[in-house]
Amino acid sequence: MHIHKDLKMADVIHLNHHLLPVINRFGIQLGFGDNSVEEVCQNYGLNLDFFLEILNTFHDPTYFPLANLQKFSAKMLIDYLQKTHQYYLEEKIPEIENRIQHLIEDVAFEAQHLQVLMDFFINYKNELISHINSEEERVYPYALALERKLSGKVHIDDELILSRNYSIRLYEEDHDDVESKLFDLKNIIIKYFPSPIESSRFNSILHELFELENDLNNHGHIEDLILVPIVEKMEKELAELSDKV
């Protein structure tokens, strides 16, 4: 079932509580009363269609946003993507790191093995950070510069960014190794941790890892299905413009 504007916001959460962090990212607070999705968006001054597309891609991994694509600005999208980055770096990753750290402190006799796990996680974290940085430093500024150029509101730096001959095609899927590491981490805990530790202590860590993975998948999905097409379209428009000149 897809989420639409007339559903009550409260029912949306009952339907899928994994949407809570997504709603947070839009700045929406709990206590919706009987307000519908549309009303909540109005109250917060949000673009309803955009909100629905994001919610639905998250809610249903097979959902394919297509019809409304052109309506969204790159800026709107990138604001959202940056907020998800923030969520990983400021909430999710520290949360997991904390939990592993607590475990190390509590379970002295397994400390060495746990430390190995921690090192692996830190390793993963660093890779994720550098991946995020490369998006924020190269991909997003490029998309925003394109958009400003096309709307005639060029910033000083934009010409420089656009002159670098970057293209969204270069934005290959280098998510790969980051994804594999997260996958490995889960599997090591699930299948291979020699555990005199009460394994329920791992539940919350695993739960967090699954959530993070799910959120990252969705993040990548939105980039591939919405951001990339929008940028490709702008690249085409810009090429046509410069052909005319």
Partner 1 sequence: MKQLRILLISDSFILREGVKTLLSLLERPYKMEECESPTFNFNRLLTKLKPNVVIAKPDMLLPYTVLPRKNDENGQIYYVGLTDDHTPTKLKSRYDFLLPIGEDKTTLLQLLESMLSSTGYLNEKPESNTLSERELTILKYIALGNTNNEIAERLFISTHTVMTHRKNITRKLGIKTVSGLTVYAILNKLIKVEELQVIKQENK
Give contact residues for partner 1 (rule: CB under 8 A).
112-113, 115-117, 120, 123, 177, 180-181, 183-185, 187-188, 191-194
Measured CA to CA, the distance from residue 134 to residue 1 in angstroms comes to 36
Question: Smallest gap, in angstroms, from Cβ of residue 68 to partner 1?
Answer: 22
What interhelical angle do 111-134 and 93-106 show, nearest 10?
Answer: 170
Q: Which residue lies nearer to partner 1 by CB, 86 or 187? A: 187
Q: Which residue lies nearer to partner 1 by CB, 113 or 201? A: 113
Question: Smallest gap, in angstroms, from Cβ of residue 185 to partner 1?
Answer: 7
Q: Which residue lies nearer to partner 1 by CB, 28 or 117? A: 117
Q: Which residue lies nearer to partner 1 by CB, 29 or 62? A: 62
Which residues have CB under 8 Å from 88's CB, separation 6+? 128, 132, 212, 215, 216
Q: Which residue lies nearer to partner 1 by CB, 115 or 133? A: 115
Q: Which residue lies nearer to partner 1 by CB, 13 or 193? A: 193
Question: Smallest gap, in angstroms, from Cβ of residue 186 to partner 1?
Answer: 9
Token look-up 């299905």 returns: 225
Question: Smallest gap, in angstroms, from Cβ of residue 37 to partner 1?
Answer: 27
- Are 81 and 190 contacting, i.e. CB atoms less than 8 angstroms apart? no
Question: Smallest gap, in angstroms, from Cβ of residue 55 to partner 1?
Answer: 23
Question: Smallest gap, in angstroms, from Cβ of residue 96 to partner 1?
Answer: 16
Which residues have CB under 8 Å from 82's CB, separation 6+? 136, 140
Residue type, 120: F
